[in-house]
A and B are shown apart, each in its own frame.
Chain A
Amino acid sequence: MNQTFRRTIFDACVFAYLIAFAFLVALRPDSDRLIENMTFYVSVTIGLAVMGGLFSLGLRQKSVITLGDIIYTPRYLQPKSTTPTPLYRTFWGAQLLATLVVTFVLGWVITDINPLRLLETEAITGAMRLFGEIATPDWSILPKATIKIIESIFIAFMATALSTPIAFVLSFLSARNIMGKAWLGSVVCGLLRIGFNLSRSIEPILWAIIFSVWVSFGPFAGMLALMVHSIASLAKQYSEIVEGVADGPIEGIEATGAGAVQVVWFAVVPQVVLPYISYTIYRWDTNLRMATILGFVGGGGIGTLLMEYQGQSRWPQVGTIIVVMAFVVWLMDAFSSHVRSAVK
């Protein structure tokens, strides 16, 4: 029943999408007209979806396999075809191909793709001039850039260092195998997971905007932004490691009469410590990449400098900053992968 419901909803959406596309091609409304007549278009789409759903149910009566069946109905419940049919001659295959083609065409139009524009002479000269200036960096600002990249490195480091212990504690509280045994534990675990997903779905650059208003512009705001994001990301990754630990040592320690904290510390922690280190180093690496651009929204670090020069179209200085950033990020990346393979 549930599967039938899901597959029908899915098919309804696909059919509505395909027919609505046909209308769009025929009528070619621009965005203004779309917005003006929003109610009309929305009701037409809903109507199409309802018709699509009915059509899909009709197909089910004739036991035609739709795309919804392929996705939502378990394989053993699907009628088996006796003869092998090529993909494009099955109903669901045609449906899939039509959807992909329509989506690609829509994508082409919406993203305003125009390859010819890359080749216009004027555009090419402009781009070449810009590349030329960036490619001749102004090394006189190197000391300034160095000081600012060091700031970025430390923003990333402090964000990682401060988020690690918090994420460490939270990771056990959000691991199902540790918390799932009791009713209260499951609730805490579930709430934490929802919290992590919410805060992870907000990009650090948005957090930086919030914190630059809260604590004013500067490295502190950038550090806080990365920290909030890191706590959620690390806690989620850590808790996945915790969920993968072997049960044997846990039983071994439990059998001695050890309490819950002791079981976690003696049976779980030794199993997770190496992957934890590895994820933490990788997080520092990722944070550094993000820290370099947080300056654009007031998060301090070398991004501040980059935004300044870019705003004044001082391309040789921008070139220097790009070189410094690339060098440090490359160095950090090499260091991080080396450490991560060493702790395996």
Chain B
Amino acid sequence: MREPLSQPVLSIKNLEKTYPNGVRALKGVSFNVHRGEFLVIIGLSGSGKSTLLRCVNRLHSPSSGEIVFHQRSTTSSTTSSTVSNTASIDIAQAKGREILEIRRHIAMIFQHFNLIERHSVLNNVLHGALGRTSALRSLLGLYSPAERAKALSYLELVGISDKSIHRASQLSGGQQQRVAIARALMQSPELLLADEPVASLDPATCHVVMDYLKKINRELNLTIICNLHFLSLVRQYADRVIALKAGELVYDGDPKQIDDAWFSRIYGESAKEVHIN
């Protein structure tokens, strides 16, 4: 395990989210995310995990609180592990085009993959470049050869470059999620949000996808925040774990430290741990 002390990429303070229907999904959540970390968020359905991730890339707007994003400034050299210059921006306060700009640097993958099923695998990966491509160029499909080469290289990284001309709908669930990972990498993000990335996959495929996430976390030094259901996966993949219960943070620490007592505190007395192998 690497030293988890590098500067934070994200500092969340007193984050609250109340939906228009009155549901308080987040009740003052605070934590930091460190650069290069594989952070897993656990909690029951409805505990606020998805809301939290969607506040970070502003698919949802928080009601109050701060989400400070310590963005690497574009001028500094990007050699990792050195303390590079950063620019801080409060995501919670961003408006209009600022939100789009923030989303370019924070990629996301989803439980149901959310690919464009009628488009080819390669085009789906190229969608990751939409944020930095003008509307007209993208509508005409004018991606530069460099972008195409980059998209192919990411497909290779997730091991499905041979499928690049297939329609996304022809792929299995696990393959679709890997395409989604390649699309996310195409953004050259500083942070990857993963909302239940394996919840709709079978156990075997689930490990394949988690292994790829771990691989890009290690090899590309990409910070990952991942919502998960299964505690066994958490122990295997997470550097650090956060638990949410009814919109409040109830645990923040080493995944190995979550024992039975903690388990029933997070998931309720009657819950039983299910193992996935």
Contacts and interface: CB of A to CB of B under 8 A. Distances in A.
A3 interface: no
Contacts of B57: 255
B130 interface: yes
A256 B128 contact: yes
Contacts of B59: 251, 254-255
A255 B103 contact: yes
B110 A252 contact: yes
Interface stretch (A147-155, A167-175, A211-219, A263-271): A263-271
A33 B129 CA distance: 77
A249 B187 contact: no
Nearest to A267: B116
B100 interface: yes
Contact of B127 (A259, A261, A266, A271): A266
Interface stretch (B20-28, B131-139, B229-237): B131-139
Contact of A257 (B130, B139, B193): B130
Interface string A89-121: 000000000000000000000000000000000
Contacts of B132: 257
B198 interface: no
B139 A253 contact: no
A154 to B, nearest CB: 31
Contacts of B119: 266, 270
A202 B118 CA distance: 38
Given A267-B116, A270-B118, A256 B110 contact: no
Pick from A249, A254, A273 the residue with the most CB of B within 10 Å: A249
Interface size grouping (class) on chain B: 20 to 34
B110 A248 contact: yes
Contacts of A255: 57, 59, 103, 106-108, 114, 193
Nearest to A262: B130
Contacts of A271: 118
Nearest to B129: A256
A187 interface: no
A249 B139 CA distance: 17
Given A249-B115, A251-B110, A266-B116, A256 B135 contact: no
Interface size grouping (class) on chain A: 10 to 19
A252 B197 CA distance: 13
A268 to B, nearest CB: 10
Pick from B132, B135, B180 the residue with the most CB of A within 10 Å: B135
Interface in B86-128: 100-108, 110, 112-119, 127-128
A261 B114 contact: no
Contacts of A267: 116
A265 B116 CA distance: 11
A59 interface: no
Given A254-B59, A255-B107, A266 B130 contact: yes
B178 interface: no
Given A248-B113, A257-B101, A262-B139, 18 more contacts: A248-B110, A249-B115, A249-B116, A251-B59, A251-B114, A252-B116, A252-B183, A253-B130, A255-B59, A255-B114, A256-B103, A256-B104, A256-B107, A256-B130, A257-B100, A259-B130, A259-B135, A266-B116
- CB-based closest 9 A-B pairs: A257-B131, A252-B114, A257-B104, A257-B103, A258-B130, A255-B108, A248-B114, A270-B118, A261-B135
Interface of B: 57, 59, 100-108, 110, 112-119, 127-132, 135, 138-139, 180, 183, 187, 193
Interface of A: 248-249, 251-259, 261-262, 265-267, 270-271, 273
